[in-house]
Amino acid sequence: MRLFSCTTPLLFIVLVLVNACRIDRVRQMFDELDVDKSGSVSLAEMKPTLYSLGLADDEIESLVARHDKNRDGELQFDEFVQFLWAS
Ligand SMILES: [Ca+2]
Ligand SMILES: [Ca+2]
């Protein structure tokens, strides 16, 4: 029980740091995909990367449409995070 109470705050800090690192990596990936630096990732910007993962046009368009919550045809950062979590 003592061990649990001592390690819980440490475990919490580690989990926060791990998640922060992941968000940094996701942000870096998003910024690299956002070639025109518009603040969102278009289909054209995503396709080369997703083609390299073996996805076809219809699969890419379906995936993006499913996560494009504001229906502007592009993924903003929050939509991109949801897109990655679902993939
Ligand atoms: Ca863009
Ligand atoms: Ca959008």
- Ordered by where they begin, the domains of the chain are 2-86 (1.10.238.10)
Q: What's the pLDDT score for residue 20?
A: 72
- How remote is the CA of residue 79 from the centroid of ligand 2, in Å? 7
Confidence band of 67 (pLDDT split at 50, 70, 90): very high
Average pLDDT estimate for 19-45: 91
- How remote is the CA of residue 58 from the centroid of ligand 1, in Å? 20
Average pLDDT estimate for 46-55: 91
- How remote is the CA of residue 29 from the centroid of ligand 1, in Å? 12
Dihedral sign, Cα of residue 80, residue 46, residue 71, residue 67 = negative
Q: What's the pLDDT score for residue 7?
A: 61
